[in-house]
Amino acid sequence: MHPGQGVGGLTGWRRWLVDILLVIFVVPPVLFLGYRYIPPIITPLMIIRAAEGYGLTRHWVPLSEISPNLQRAVIASEDSRFCLHHGFDWVAVHKAMERNAEGGHRLLGASTISMQTAKNLLLWPGRDYLRKGAEAYLTMWLEMFVPKKRILELYLNEIEWGQGIYGAEAAARVYFNTSAARLTPRQASLMAAVLPNPLGWRPDYPGRWVSAHARTIEARMNAVFLGKDGPCP
């Protein structure tokens, strides 16, 4: 073997390049294909939060055991066009850019449920450009390999709902002493209202803003279509 060559005759830097490309182009579709059928064991965010001392409370349940009230509430709150886009809501992006240009605020309202699910499953928390770019890339693979119903199921089971609390079932038990299947419209709207800041807000002790936001979500819930088998027929 020629000096500097690795396995298969590739030099060191070329071997690294091949490994990086394999990670970028092979790992995401393989993982998402698996997550289409198997619940994730753990996510990077759970590991990070556990290291920060938050613990880990999580109870996976199928979408059929999550109240339609909560399904409607999170769609109404987080991604009203969930069934109409393929991962990216360009209408929301355009509106957010206009709002940002007019008011000088950071972009709001453009992150879809698909984008949040991709982030929650494989990425770290943060708002840097590297993470946002990785999130967009992973969202394309997620939408390619996972149907909308399963994306919503993954989202509702993996989303952070408090300090060490993940998923609808764990949150329903902690905050309302009930199951995710039995959440009322008001409880569901309160749970959806705290998603922008789950470490700072609680649905069982909502402040004025959370209460008002929950009322708005509850008023919009009836406009969200849910078929017999879930969203997006």
Q: What is the CATH number of the domain that holds 118?
A: 1.10.3810.10
Q: Does residue 233 form part of some domain?
A: no
At 203 the pLDDT is: 98
Closest CA to 46 of 146, 122, 112: 122
Give 144's pLDDT tier (boundaries 50, 70, 90). Answer: very high
State percent of the chain over pLDDT 90.
68
For residue 19, the model assigns a pLDDT of: 67
pLDDT at 164: 96
pLDDT at site 91: 75
Helices (H), the chain: 12-25, 27-35, 44-51, 68-78, 90-103, 113-122, 129-145, 148-158, 168-176, 185-193, 208-221
Domain that holds residue 116: 10-221
* Residues 167/158, Cβ–Cβ less than 8 Å: yes
Strands 165-166 and 57-58: parallel
Write the pLDDT tens digit of every residue in 91-133. Answer: 766 666 666 556 654 445 478 999 999 999 999 888 778 888 9
Q: What does 27-44 look like in DSSP terms, one character per residue?
A: HHHHHHHHHTTS--S--H
Task: State how many domains the chain has.
Answer: 1
Q: Cα dist. 49→35, 58, 74, 82, 207 in Å?
A: 22, 13, 23, 28, 24
* Domain-located, residue 226: no
CA distance 121 to 41: 10
The predicted model gives 77-99 an average pLDDT of: 81
CA neighbor of 221 nearest in space, from 180, 182, 191, 181: 191
Read off the pLDDT of each residue in 176-193 and give the average, rounded to a whole number.
98
**Res. 69: pLDDT tops 50:** yes
Query: How much is the mean pLDDT over the chain?
Result: 88
Residue 3, in any domain of the structure:
no
- Please report whether residue 1 resides in a domain: no
Residue 4 domain flag = no
Asked whether residue 147 carries a pLDDT value surpassing 90, the answer given is: yes
**Which of 49, 48, 31 minimizes the C-alpha distance to 40?**
31
Residue matched to tokens 């209202």: 193
Residue 165 clears pLDDT 90, i.e. is over it: yes
Say if 174 falls within a structural domain: yes
Cβ neighbours for 10, distance < 8 A, ≥ 6 positions apart:
18
89: pLDDT strictly greater than 80:
yes
The span from the CA of 228 to the CA of 30, in Å, is 30
Q: Is residue 176 part of a domain?
A: yes
pTM here is 0.87
Residue 83 lies in a domain: yes
